[in-house]
Amino acid sequence: MSLCPECGVAGVPLIFGLPVPEALAAAQNGELALGGCLMPPRPPNWECPGGHRWRDGDETAFDERLLTVLAAHGYRPD
């Protein structure tokens, strides 16, 4: 989990593109943020409840958190 550099609150993974149903469920629960269909250059990968977005260079932590959240909603990678 990454802390917001602006407000210090814990962020949730931020994903872009068409979300799978499990991602929609996680977003409705506030465990994941949806960034929309268009991915900006050098996209942020975390968002706090205040709407601040940032990029954390620890891709492993991001991937692990994202997969944990999705798995909790029934996602099983092929």
- Distance between CA atoms of residues 3 and 40, nearest Å: 21
- In the prediction, which pLDDT does 77 show? 81
pLDDT tens per residue, range 18-60: 999 999 999 999 999 999 999 999 999 999 999 999 999 899 9
pLDDT tens per residue, range 57-74: 899 999 999 999 999 999
pLDDT band at 1 (very low <50, low <70, confident <90, very high): confident
**pTM reported for the whole predicted model:** 0.91
Q: How many CA atoms lie within 13 A of 70 on its CB side?
A: 19
Distances (CA, A) of 77 to 30, 41, 49, 70: 22, 26, 27, 10
In the structure encoding, which two tokens stand for residue 57, read together? 């260079």
Task: Specify burial of residue 61 (Cβ count, 10 A radius: 0-12, 13-18, 19+).
Answer: middle
- In the prediction, which pLDDT does 78 show? 76
